[in-house]
A and B are shown apart, each in its own frame.
Chain A
Amino acid sequence: MMKHELKLYCETSRLSDLRIFLNKILQETSLSEIEQHQVTLAVDEVCANLIIHSHGCNSKEFIQISVEKEVGLLKIEITDQGDAFNIIEYNVPEINQVKKTKRKGGLGIILVKRIMDKIEFESSGLQNTCRLFKNLKSK
């Protein structure tokens, strides 16, 4: 599988384009339909978070997504130049805490961490890179 890339401008209305992009690629993998749906959701969550919190929905800014299949592994790399959000260090809230405080956020990162098999994050100060990995079974 070749490398697929998408430049996503920072507006939440563009998230549906991201999902169309991902669905097409994921269909070609050995992931089940349910897994494909979940991986799309995880990437949507990371990008929605970046668009809203790191870029303040500034439609002139963008994030880049690349999807690559390595041996037995699907790698999705998300790079941007906004305020760094370290997904690994972020302490996810307890579900019951989210319910009690009636906050409408905080669930997205829980989903990402439960869906993906491995997550990496690095920031050079100028550029942030988040890598999401999903194990692939052989077809």
Chain B
Amino acid sequence: MLKIETSKKSNYTEIKLIGEVDASNSVELDEAIVALVENDTKNILVDGTQLEYISSAGLGVFMSYIEDFNDKKISLVIFGLNEKVFHVFQILGLDQLINIKSNKEDAVMEL
């Protein structure tokens, strides 16, 4: 089960991922990100504090926007990943390609 909550703040938009992202629902994560880009959002914070699991389907969504976001000057910062989930990002070296911070305060500083 995955629940995605999007909330607009003054200078950024936050996407909160609650539950598990796998091959059955990664399209929902993709749609949530596409919606932000269409709304001209330049700063995206991904709250991963309640993300329990992510498989390659979900990681691929983040991966697929890295180049686009660089071109469009869109910042995306993920924060609050638990240790197990963060390890999965590390196995693929995605922690080197995506800006990941341990908490929200540090993540906001990156915007």
Let me know if B67 is at the binding interface, CB within 8 A. yes
Residues of A in contact (CB 8 Å), total 31
Query: Helix, strand, loop or mixed for chain B's interface?
Result: helix
Let me know if A15 is at the binding interface, CB within 8 A. yes
A residues less than 8 Å from B94 (CB atoms): 95
Query: Helix, strand, loop or mixed for chain A's interface?
Result: helix
Q: Beyond A15-B22, A15-B23, is A104–B57 a contact (Cβ under 8 Å)?
A: yes
Within 47-62 of A, Cβ neighbours of B (below 8 Å) are at 48, 51-52
A residues less than 8 Å from B11 (CB atoms): none
Closest to A13 in B: B24
Let me know if A82 is at the binding interface, CB within 8 A. no
Closest to B27 in A: A104
Closest to B97 in A: A99
Are B57 and A48 touching (Cβ within 8 A)? yes
Are A104 and B55 touching (Cβ within 8 A)? no
Are A103 and B91 touching (Cβ within 8 A)? no
**Interface code A24-41, partner B: CB below 8 Å = 1, 0 otherwise?**
000000000110011001
B residues less than 8 Å from A12 (CB atoms): 22-24
Chain B nearest CB, measured from A46 CB (Å): 11
Let me know if A44 is at the binding interface, CB within 8 A. yes
Let me know if A3 is at the binding interface, CB within 8 A. no
Are A44 and B55 touching (Cβ within 8 A)? yes
Are A48 and B61 touching (Cβ within 8 A)? no
Q: Beyond A16-B22, A44-B55, A45-B56, is A37–B84 a contact (Cβ under 8 Å)?
A: yes
Q: Beyond A52-B23, A99-B97, is A34–B55 a contact (Cβ under 8 Å)?
A: no
* Docked CA distance A126–B90 (Å): 37
**Interface code B81-97, partner A: CB below 8 Å = 1, 0 otherwise?**
00110011001111001
Q: Contact partner of A104 among B1, B53, B61, B92, CB < 8 A?
A: B61
Closest to A44 in B: B55
Chain B nearest CB, measured from A96 CB (Å): 9
Chain B nearest CB, measured from A48 CB (Å): 4
Chain A nearest CB, measured from B76 CB (Å): 14
Q: Contact partner of B24 among A15, A34, A98, A100, CB < 8 A?
A: A15
**Interface code B31-64, partner A: CB below 8 Å = 1, 0 otherwise?**
0000000000000000000000101110111011
